[in-house]
Structure 1
């Protein structure tokens, strides 16, 4: 029996891009390589990577044995062989499985980092297990490159987890403080393809922006000017108002990019984690919300509807690019995207950061000294320049350049780097802004009217239902708080009455075993509280990594592990419940206002 039509139709739902590549490919008449290594063990890991698709039986085994949280990522360099496999085997169990991702015939970065980012939104994986069905005998260079990118993904994940540990509470606080703006404003998904084949100019705040910012006036209404928040004051100082400003940073100081600026008529596209001061400043303007996978925001979106998610790349400029791509802009033109340091400094003039540095200057502290001191905080590297042979950058900006390069390669729109300096970004066309405007910015549109029209189409969700759901999950957190308090009190009793905290399990007294059993029962009650664990996942992931590293099986070690866990649950529950209460009051006020208007 030929299973090709069944399999290709299933693939069109699971992975349309792979299905398209397969349909464009002729059937191979070569030998089909199938590994029969089925030696699998139960695996409890975040990502299980399989090198080689084989006949699919290995993947089915992986699904059967891997835990419910595990992403099964199948990577195979040979798309022609895979197409032949589709004719021979019924693969519906694989193609219908939500935890299976198929990277067939893809470049290593896309097959690894990009696929994991698309699946997890934000990578917080702690471990990856690789099963090599090819046993390093087939295309070893390709799979060695895959291993390199898997290691980079683990490193990025550890950085993400560290960031979560620092900012998780602030993100939650800001999301709930901004709840009124989340329900009263549409998501970015409402803007999908709204500027199809209309040019976009993304303005970043690199020092080269000072060279060509004045030309933007020639592109007004001939392009959609999207400005990162850092560059807003520079544009306004040149009497240029962008149509859109993008903001994603949760820190309070980010508000200073807007202070004293004339923002009237500028549309804000932002993530819900930014300071409520920024939302308040734009309350008379158009606002569109986007989401990047924060667990609390995902829970809210399940109730009020999706706002739209896309690859963010880790910076406000990468986010701006993803927005332009979502809007259908073509071409997408960059200026001020230096991704490097220069003799002119780190930022363009008039930005908050540059103004701050200038204000701190005196006869002993020059701008050159301030810049040098700033650069000494980073591990600097040389990379190829856009116009120069090499330029100074750091590893973070170099990673953004790689991200852009990969995204450009997989973007239908023409990508143009009109940055007059900075680091070289591959897979785009380099030209001056003057050339880009003359060649591509000739069509006249009124972006402001388009944005206003789309914003008016938004229908406010059922706020009463959201209030009800928040009250319900708040009750869950109150119960979690109660369980945590009970467990903490029990661990204190256990610690106080124990004869020997260094004793091992076999030597625990009956009283110690009973108290541990009670603590474990409370732990079990918390483990089934799905909403609490899901919403607070970014709080708990860093802690769980720490707990997994503790190898002390003594009574004192067990008490330490339980104490750390329950203290965290207690802190999370107390903090978020006070914020849920404020969010409920905000939403109830909206309901009252709406009732008075009707």
Structure 2
């Protein structure tokens, strides 16, 4: 993107110009980040959701089964930032005395394990394969089976296949278009879930808020570097992420008003967390992260202060709180809606092939320079592609798996639709829609065994 401005505006309105430029750069940066995330995970989100569906059916939905159960109970959300090292003894005392529910996110569980602390639950949602290879490698290797796992339904399937513990609970994530379509509770209550976010800490913050925890206490939520460290101790791969240079980093205010180095990725996470917190009412979110980036909407207190002031004093943790039977979803609804999905799954290859043939017809006409006949093909292409767009399997599975290529095509339509040069118009549409349709047909083949497994699981 090339940003061109008038120097006279820059001189006449320096503050407004600077504010606009900063916001513009932020929007572009966020868009690039979101696009990179979609490219990396668009297929994994759906594949994971399909492979994890059996686990979802066989485990309790924590937001359903524990709704209101933890009202006004204290919860500690433990992230893996370097300031976690300061709090390990405090966390050990809190755990031994049941003074708060301790939820670990990401690599923090490994720091706690190294300190001899078992959290009350480990939360996970990361769709990537590295989630198993890094975060859960120690748990799997040592066969640690006494930590309950709360998983997002689109989490990397490898985690669920290898997790040694039996106590698993699920939450439906916004990237899981399978469960959100197929599942309904027996009663008329709305099926609640969590929104996808840049970090598991934000997803877990949503979860704890929805469960009624209050206060919610953040530990190790640095979102910045401390003593050149990215991670707390006790994490096997932590040294690989140590800070070696400050190029590309920015300075932000920490919880005590001092300046700390952070990355653009960390800063986006902080901004995203602040956006979620802004909509959380009637809850006290306390940030105890020494030297961590200041997070709007939270108050800063040390964990020592909370322990001596009475905020964390009584034994509140219910033993085996996670011992819940699987959630009973409406089986008739599930079977009925799966039948519709399966029917459209079987029909979609034919519809995609019709689009493909029409694009090929346009390509041949373009080579023959038969522009008049090309112009007559556009209504036909609209008709066949509209059938694809109405197809349920396309909506719930194929489009989410190829959102980047389809959205690029849809983004070009407004400018190319009224292009008088039929050859140029043909080139743009064949290249963009043709790529999306080709990728969709490849995915349809790859999904065959997953759909067979899903059918057996439901029936």
Question: Which TM-score band (shorter chain)?
Answer: 0.7 to 0.9
Which secondary structure state, in structure 1, belongs to the residue aligned with residue 340 of structure 2? helix
**Are residues 1:394 and 2:293 paired?**
no
Q: How does 1:272-421 map to 2 (within 5 A)?
A: 272-282=153-163, 284-301=166-183, 307-354=191-238, 357=240, 371-372=243-244, 376=247, 379-387=248-256, 389-405=258-274, 407-408=276-277, 410-421=280-291
In 1, Cα distance between equivalents of 2:116 and 2:395: 49
- Pick one of 439, 451, 454 that aligns with 1:583: 451
Q: How much is the aligned-residue C-alpha RMSD, in angstroms?
A: 3.3
Counterpart of 1:212? 87
Counterpart of 2:136? 258
In 1, Cα distance between equivalents of 2:322 and 2:296: 32
In 2, Cα distance between equivalents of 1:215 and 1:401: 25
In 2, Cα distance between equivalents of 1:513 and 1:408: 52
In 2, Cα distance between equivalents of 1:474 and 1:195: 41
CA shift for structure 1 position 431: 1.9
**Are residues 1:450 and 2:321 paired?**
yes
* Distance change (3 Å), C-alpha of 1:290 and 1:524: closer
CA shift for structure 1 position 167: 2.0
CA shift for structure 1 position 528: 3.8
**Are residues 1:187 and 2:61 paired?**
yes
**Are residues 1:478 and 2:332 paired?**
no
**Are residues 1:243 and 2:120 paired?**
yes
Which piece of structure 1 moves more, 545-554 or 393-402?
A: 545-554
Q: How does 1:522-541 map to 2 (within 5 A)?
A: 522-529=384-391, 532-533=394-395, 535=397, 536-537=399-400, 538-539=403-404, 540-541=406-407
Structure 1 gaps of 5+ residues are: 1-140, 358-366, 500-507, 592-598
Q: Given that residues 480 and 569 in structure 1 are in contact (C-alpha distance below 8 angstroms), is that contact kept between their aligned partners in structure 2?
A: no
- Pick one of 277, 297, 301 that aligns with 1:431: 301
Counterpart of 2:11? none
* Distance change (3 Å), C-alpha of 1:549 and 1:268: farther
Q: Given that residues 212 and 433 in structure 1 are in contact (C-alpha distance below 8 angstroms), is that contact kept between their aligned partners in structure 2?
A: yes
* Distance change (3 Å), C-alpha of 1:241 and 1:528: same
TM-score, structure 2 length as denominator? Answer: 0.81
CA shift for structure 1 position 233: 0.9
**Are residues 1:469 and 2:344 paired?**
no
In 1, Cα distance between equivalents of 2:102 and 2:130: 24
Which secondary structure state, in structure 1, belongs to the residue aligned with residue 77 of structure 2? strand
Which piece of structure 1 moves more, 182-191 or 249-258?
A: 182-191
* Distance change (3 Å), C-alpha of 1:576 and 1:444: farther
Counterpart of 1:173? 47
Counterpart of 1:51? none
- Pick one of 558, 561, 577 that aligns with 2:428: 561
CA shift for structure 1 position 254: 1.1
**Are residues 1:269 and 2:159 paired?**
no
Which secondary structure state, in structure 2, belongs to the residue aligned with residue 440 of structure 1? coil
* Distance change (3 Å), C-alpha of 1:292 and 1:223: same
CA shift for structure 1 position 391: 0.5
Number of aligned positions between the proteins: 423
Larger radius of gyration: 1
